[in-house]
Structure 1
Amino acid sequence: MAVRIPYATKDGFLAVRTWLRAAHAEVERIEVTDSSMTVRARLHGTGPLPGTATVRLRRRGGDGVLRTVEPRAGSDDRGFSFTVDYGELAAGNGTGSHVWDLAVQLSSRPEVSEVSEVPAVRIGRLLDDLADRKEIFVYPAATVGDVVVRPYYTVDNDLSVEVAPAG
């Protein structure tokens, strides 16, 4: 999947933002509550959502902490949705801030046990006319215990969730 978005830079020059991905999961909608977020997305550049697919939330850093969520199939074979419980991301946060990156694991082969054998498809938003949505699409934060949880788009327009100490 190739995406090209022309835009004007802050100093008035014309630039083109590009992405080239084998597959992509395009966010269609995010519903945020005080305790969770529900994401509706659609696959592009790959086959239908297999019955064994999982949504992966991988904490950035060297610790490799991973959470998984089962997606719910949409009305067709490419649409899906999932809900992330903020309490699960906040549990065991320790000190400092952490970021969780979201992807969908599409393995439909039961013999594949290693996550690294099948590339995960990043979940994000690329298919419109915005080159950078990090400062434009701002979602409300929720306080869970002693941390604040907030979904956001990265500089690459991928969906992530930040967990930071409250206050």
Structure 2
Amino acid sequence: MIRRPLSRLVVLSTLALTAPFSPAAAQGPEAAAAAAATGLSVELNDVATSERGCKLTFVTGNDLAQPLSKVSFEFVLFDQKGRVERMAVLDFRDLPAGKTKVRQFDLAGTKCDALGSLLINDAPVCTGEGIDKSACMQGLRTGSKSPVGLKG
């Protein structure tokens, strides 16, 4: 009779029960990465004081199969205390498929040091040949390299 330590069995059972399952993960790391990389990415790369107010620099990527002829996002700007300071729709223009673009927006009357975070609330414009209007928000990945956070 072969005896195996109970602790090994418990560890293996726990791993099997707690491991997340998705069809892409079951196909391997390449498929999981490809599934995670569909959609748009918006990164708040920099926030800088300008003559007019606050200049926001975004790095955007389009990992959809189709190019976007026009996309705009509705942003909610929160102050340092988490209160809504204002809302603004920013026009990111076109986003070619498989490309990364940098876009800058100067928000007149906004003080950079008063910003706590940004939220992408919606994509009121999301157009391109064969593109569903919801494609810009589905799978949206956000991030920030500035002190001001960005969520989608």
| TM-score interval, normalised by the smaller of the two chains | 0.3 to 0.5
Could you tell me the TM-score, scaled by structure 2's length? 0.43
The normalised TM-score by structure 1 is 0.40
Larger helix share, 1 or 2: 2
Q: Choose 1 or 2 for highest CA Rg.
A: 2
